[in-house]
């Protein structure tokens, strides 16, 4: 079993001094290098180096490990959106310029017009990274999800991030979800639905959630109409995407192959239970959650799984991991084994 170092949770100046997962303090965005705490940055570098050493000692060849950059001979893929309001496009351009001045030989810099602080299908296509059969999440096409996607078996790959219309396997996805999010101080961000609180389950954006469910059901219907049997589709999501994927899986008329719930929760519980289909109780469910999750608390995952079990779900696999709000190598190994078992039965 590999050790897993989670991202530190520290007060961040840019976040009004509130604690959040961060490797080092950021005073403002766009940032200036002189405003960074260099000692914090080097501490983070040491943590990442320790992770690499641990993986190498566990048997993973170093030439199979990809980071953002390491040596001048390594190929680097850099994607950046022109509409990024968090880490501005010019910041990315300047960083790449510095790398080239340092004689980095193989940098592929890609510009994505209109993309904000996220990842879209064009970028995923350029990276040529696989995903779940259907993967949807606030971070579905982000770095953590990409790590999961690259090791998980699937029959067909579709990326469904909550962003503007895009192409995936010939399917046009119209999912514009750049909205003000209450918990993000009403700043606009890519999200499936508004979140007012991560502690108050009586104050959820039911309208936004049900709108997202409708969008995902339309994608599933399009796939079925194109020839993919519903029982070959597994719906999976991380964090906010877990919430939406779970709600969709519980209420859809389609008899799917299973549900993947990573670091999320069951939203609008009364509505979900009241609208639950009879065949949903037969769905195999994989639920992974970190005991140190500082965003979606571990006990929210436990409570959600308890509700499923009390609702007579017959096949729920709940796994706990010593990690924060992120996937881990142990979780991905368990998920891969679960997926293979589901595929064997379907």
Catalytic residues: 239, 293, 325
Torsion angle (degrees, nearest 10) of CA 88, 89, 94, 96: 130
Cα 167 to Cα 86, 120, 160, 173, 220, distances in angstroms: 25, 10, 10, 6, 15
Residue 11 bridge partners (DSSP):
19
- Gap between the Cα atoms of 263 and 196, Å rounded: 18
Supply 50's token pair. Answer: 């320790």
Judge whether 58 and 2 are in contact, CB under 8 Å: yes
SS3 of 26, please?
coil
> How does DSSP assign 173-222, residue by residue?
E----EEE-GGGTT-EEE-SS-BS-SS-TTSB-HHHHHHHHHHHHHHHHH
Is residue 298 exposed (0-12), middle (13-18) or buried (19+ Cβ within 10 Å)?
middle
> How does DSSP assign 220-259, residue by residue?
HHHHHHTT--GGG-EEEEETHHHHHHHHHHHH-SS--SEE
């Amino acid at each position: 079993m590999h050790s897993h170092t989670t991202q530190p949770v520290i007060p961040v100046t840019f976040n009004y001094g509130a604690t959040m997962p961060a490797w080092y303090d950021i005073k403002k965005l766009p940032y200036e290098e002189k405003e960074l705490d260099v000692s914090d940055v080097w501490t983070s570098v040491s943590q990442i180096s320790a992770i690499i050493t641990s993986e190498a000692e566990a048997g993973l060849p170093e030439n199979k490990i990809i980071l953002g950059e390491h040596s001048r001979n390594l190929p680097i893929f850099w994607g950046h959106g022109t509409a990024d309001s968090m880490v501005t496009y010019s910041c990315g351009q300047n960083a790449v310029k510095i790398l080239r001045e340092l004689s980095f030989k193989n940098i592929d810099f890609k510009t994505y017009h209109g993309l904000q602080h996220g990842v879209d299908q064009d970028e995923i296509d350029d990276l040529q990274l696989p995903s779940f059969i259907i993967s949807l999440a606030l971070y579905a096409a982000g770095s953590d999800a990409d790590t999961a996607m690259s090791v998980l078996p699937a029959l067909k790959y579709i990326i469904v991030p909550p962003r503007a219309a895009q192409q995936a396997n010939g399917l046009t996805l119209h999912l514009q979800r750049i909205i003000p999010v209450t918990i993000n101080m009403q700043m606009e961000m890519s999200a499936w639905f508004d979140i007012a609180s991560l502690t108050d389950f009586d104050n959820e954006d039911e309208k936004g959630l049900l709108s997202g469910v409708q969008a995902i059901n339309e994608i599933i219907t399009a796939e079925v109409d194109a020839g993919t049997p519903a029982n070959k589709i597994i719906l999976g999501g991380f964090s906010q995407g877990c919430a939406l994927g779970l709600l969709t899986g519980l209420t859809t008329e389609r008899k799917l192959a299973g549900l993947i719930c990573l670091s999320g929760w069951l939203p609008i519980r009364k509505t979900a239970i009241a609208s639950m289909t009879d065949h949903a109780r037969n769905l195999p469910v994989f639920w992974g959650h970190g005991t140190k999750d500082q965003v979606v608390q571990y006990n929210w995952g436990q409570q959600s799984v308890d509700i499923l079990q009390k609702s007579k779900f017959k096949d729920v696999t709940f796994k706990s991991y010593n990690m924060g709000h992120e996937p881990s190598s142990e979780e991905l190994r368990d998920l891969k084994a679960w997926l293979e078992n589901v595929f064997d039965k379907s």
